[in-house]
Structure 1
Amino acid sequence: MHARSVTASITALLGAAALLFPMSPAGAADTSGTPVVVAHRGGSGYAPENTLAAVDRAAALGIEWVENDVQRTKDGTLVVVHDDDLRRTTDAEEVFPGRSPWKVKDFTAAEIARLDAGSWFSPSFRGTRVPTLEQFVRRVERHGQKLLLEIKNPELYPGIERDTLKVLANEGWLDRQHVGDRLVVQSFSAASVRTVHELKPAVRTGLLGKPPVGDLPGYAAFADQINPSYASLTSGYVAAVQSFRGPHGSPLEVLTWTVNDAAAARRVAGYGVDGIISNVPDVVRDAVG
């Protein structure tokens, strides 16, 4: 349901913003206003997260947008993995028993390439590997999909923003077509998002989390999206975000995470969000039409 009231401060801010930044349809939603659906870490409800198998599963489901997480190895290779350590989604403890605490940044790319990143999910995925960012974007490209790329834990990897953009450039993902509507780079770190924008202003960016409404004008200078958890979301907050224009002149968008049931999907769609991120994207797609 839509909230019937908003605090006085938000109402005043919205009124002022409406005069400065007239509303227009959100860019992420399709022409009918239906939010886009993003496969969280690939089709991670059906295949090991952040793997090529998860990308393939999302493609098989007909999901256009794929989300992933990027971190950096000891020797400077970007790999697609969510946690800052390797224990949960690989067999690192077994393969390298003396390397506690098994942090991504303490292993070379060749060492990580030896790890099984699929057996934890299902025996049928035994032998699945942690992909490099190059391998991941090539698979996304093969399927003609779009990428919501999260720079994970940037405080652990100084300069990872430049490294990420270099890989994307080398893979042909910084041309007009890709930066126009096939790529968004996001992070929980506002400093990291700002750095991406400063290094490559054409790239659309997203700030993860739910910053106060009063801080939105500052973030709108370098972020095209504000992407909060669905549990914290209200229709008033969505409207507040969308009343501002981002660095590319379009209204700020709201992509919310991680929605894994039909009822929650319909609820946040009713709030007017531009996108919904899900481990089971087919469930969300069917729920919101």
Structure 2
Amino acid sequence: MRRRTALSTVATTLCGALALALPAPAAQARAAGPVTVYGHRGAAAYAPENTLSSVQRAADLGAHWVENDVQRTRDGALVVIHDTTLERTTDAKRRYPGRSPWSVGSFTLAEIKTLDAGGWFAPRFRGERVPTLAEYLRRLDRTGQGLLLELKRPELYPGIEGQTLRALARAGWLDGPHIARRLVVQSFSAPALRTTHRLRPAVRTGFLGNPPVSQLKRYAAFADQINPEQRTVTSAYVKAVHATPGPHRAPMRVNAWTVDSGPAAARLVGLGVNGVITNRPDVIAKATRRIRPGTA
């Protein structure tokens, strides 16, 4: 009897050790707690996208994270703007009629700072400026929000991965607390994410898109997140991503974009996504609070 009890104790101990060594099941791979709501370009439904007013509006609506886009001017400054041209979200066409196609990289920072980046959205935002990355980070220091930072078209700006990391470091955003809780760098460019991971392995990264399940392990070498367009998300795909450990040995996360309706957000939460990127963070926060994550 004693021998049998001793053998049982040893077996139990070994099973416990094996359980600790094995990856967590997909069902347990989701982050605990509520789904993360990311304000897309701030709160782009309520204020001109990627501006400081949009960041502040997102904060006022309770968004703990915002998403932005980073590009580089002709004289090497990092600015926060989505389009690779200035025409849609500034008055560049009127102010500089002979500079078509008004590409961000063909203007100096001083020139971009003369542009109105808010009047196109609503008269009350007239005079809003395109922020530099440094200005944007200072505003986030005031609001306390996290940042999902997109390297926009990095192939147009050689070396922007390292330059962005240096800017983050100068702003104090590469310390332990920021890296652990307030910063993710994402891109549609796998090479840019590989470079970012190589330069700063501790920084979390997200790939924008939905690579085939058969290639997830390749992406997991440099990406902590797979962030697909909402219409491509299925329960099976989310489970496959969650079952794949990323570069920091945690299961990869899934953040879907761009989701502006409550029912769409509820469907995605039911499929098990970890986060939702939205122009309407108040609407999505309200919708996702009502549903238990991963119940589909």
**Residue identity opposite 1:190 in structure 2:** A
Paired with 1:41 and 1:22, the residues of 2 have a C-alpha distance of 33
**Residue identity opposite 2:23 in structure 1:** F
**Residue identity opposite 2:25 in structure 1:** M
Give the Å deviation of 1:26: 4.7
Partner of 2:79, secondary structure, is: strand
Alignment-derived partner of residue 21 in structure 1: 23
**Residue identity opposite 2:262 in structure 1:** A
Give the Å deviation of 1:236: 0.6
Go from structure 1 to structure 2 and tell me whether the alpha carbon gap of 1:127 and 1:214 turns closer, same or farther (over 3 Å shift): same
**Residue identity opposite 1:277 in structure 2:** I
Alignment-derived partner of residue 119 in structure 1: 119
Alignment-derived partner of residue 167 in structure 2: 167
Partner of 1:47, secondary structure, is: coil
Alignment-derived partner of residue 129 in structure 1: 129
Q: Is the 8 A contact 1:194 1:222 kept in 2?
A: yes
Q: Is the 8 A contact 1:69 1:150 kept in 2?
A: yes
Partner of 2:53, secondary structure, is: helix
- Provide the aligned length of Structure 1 versus Structure 2: 268
Paired with 1:63 and 1:101, the residues of 2 have a C-alpha distance of 34
Residue deviations 1:184-226 (CA, integer Å, cap 9, x gap): 0000000001110000001000000010000000110110000
Question: Does 1:87 pair with 2:87?
Answer: yes
Paired with 1:260 and 1:62, the residues of 2 have a C-alpha distance of 16
Question: Does 1:64 pair with 2:64?
Answer: yes
Give the Å deviation of 1:106: 0.2
Paired with 1:151 and 1:52, the residues of 2 have a C-alpha distance of 18
> What aligned pairs does 1:151-190 form with structure 2 within 5 A after superposition?
151-190=151-190
- Give the alignment's TM-score, normalised by structure 1: 0.91
Give the Å deviation of 1:53: 0.2
- Give the alignment's TM-score, normalised by structure 2: 0.89
The structure showing larger relative contact order (alpha-carbon pairs under 8 Å, at least 6 residues apart) is 1
Give the Å deviation of 1:268: 0.2
Unaligned runs of 5+ in 1: 1-18
Alignment-derived partner of residue 38 in structure 2: 38
State, as a whole percentage, how many aligned pairs show the same letter: 59
Alignment-derived partner of residue 221 in structure 1: 221
**How much is the aligned-residue C-alpha RMSD, in angstroms?**
1.2
Partner of 1:254, secondary structure, is: strand
Q: Is the 8 A contact 1:26 1:274 kept in 2?
A: no
Paired with 2:144 and 2:151, the residues of 1 have a C-alpha distance of 22
